[in-house]
């Protein structure tokens, strides 16, 4: 049994699955005005991936989500960034749809590296499966809770929630 803090009492809350990736791109530093052609811009790899994810959003189902941030974009403006990193989360309601979405997200991640001529490393890659409600246990819980005066709100399948560790920052 799982309990999640909320402003309402819901018997069957929707807890969709989530995949969390932290990606590091490694290129080659070079002086940006002196010899930029000698560099491989890791920030370009991150930006290409980020843009790919942004374009991907219009092609995913309404019950899926993609979130991304750039966590490191270089050290100085006059140096082609040798290192850049990003954090990506994506969510889907079933294991199958999460796996399908992961393939598409990974295509964007790999395209970023390929486009900029960089290598990539995953520093985090983990998935939390969607929660499936046990209807028998939910019915028993509802009966017991109502005897104690608990009132339940209507199920709200439009509210997305995830479970698992909340502190998920890439370093």
Higher per-residue pLDDT: 24 or 162: 24
Spell out where the chain has E strands: 17-26, 30-31, 65-72, 79-80, 83-92, 119-128
Residue 101 structural domain:
17-147
Q: pTM (2 decimals)?
A: 0.81
Angle between helices 95-116 and 42-56 (to 10 degrees): 140
Whether 49 maps to a domain, the answer reads yes
How far, CA to CA in Å, does 75 sit from each of 97, 141, 160? 38, 55, 37
Residue 161 near residue 90 (C-beta atoms within 8 A): no
pLDDT at 171: 47
DSSP state of 102: H
Whether 101 maps to a domain, the answer reads yes
Q: Residue with structure tokens 């079933």?
A: 94
Whether 32 maps to a domain, the answer reads yes
pLDDT tens for 23-76 read 999 999 999 999 999 999 999 999 999 999 999 999 999 999 999 999 999 999
Q: Domain tally for the chain? A: 1
What average pLDDT is seen over the chain?
90
Whether 82 maps to a domain, the answer reads yes
State whether residue 82 is helix, strand or coil. Answer: coil
Backbone CA torsion sign across 36, 41, 47, 48: positive
For the chain, helix (H) and strand (E) counts, in that order, are 3, 6
Q: Exposure string (b/e) for 21-39, b if CB count within 10 Å is 16 or more? A: bbbbbbbebbebeeeeeeb
State how far the Cα of 72 lies from the Cα of 81, in Å rounded to an integer.
10
Whether 157 maps to a domain, the answer reads no
Whether 28 maps to a domain, the answer reads yes
Whether 171 maps to a domain, the answer reads no
Whether 98 maps to a domain, the answer reads yes
State how far the Cα of 129 lies from the Cα of 142, in Å rounded to an integer.
24
Q: What is the CATH number of the domain that holds 46?
A: 3.30.70.360
pLDDT tens for 133-150 read 888 998 998 999 999 998
């Amino acid at each position: 049994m799982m309990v999640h803090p909320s402003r309402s009492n819901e018997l069957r809350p929707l807890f969709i699955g989530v995949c969390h990736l932290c990606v590091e791109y490694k290129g080659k530093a070079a002086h940006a005005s002196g010899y930029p052609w000698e560099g491989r811009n890791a920030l370009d790899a991150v930006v290409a991936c980020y843009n790919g994810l942004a374009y991907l959003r219009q092609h995913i189902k309404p019950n899926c989500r993609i979130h991304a941030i750039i966590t490191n974009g270089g050290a100085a403006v006059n140096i082609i960034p040798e290192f850049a990193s990003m954090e990506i989360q994506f969510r889907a309601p079933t294991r199958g749809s999460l796996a399908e979405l992961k393939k598409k997200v990974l295509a964007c991640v790999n395209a970023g590296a390929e486009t900029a001529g960089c290598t990539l490393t995953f520093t985090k890659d983990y998935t939390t499966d969607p929660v499936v409600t046990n209807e028998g246990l939910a019915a028993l819980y509802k009966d017991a809770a109502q005897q104690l005066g608990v009132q339940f709100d209507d199920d709200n399948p439009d509210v997305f929630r995830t479970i698992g560790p909340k502190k998920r920052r890439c370093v």
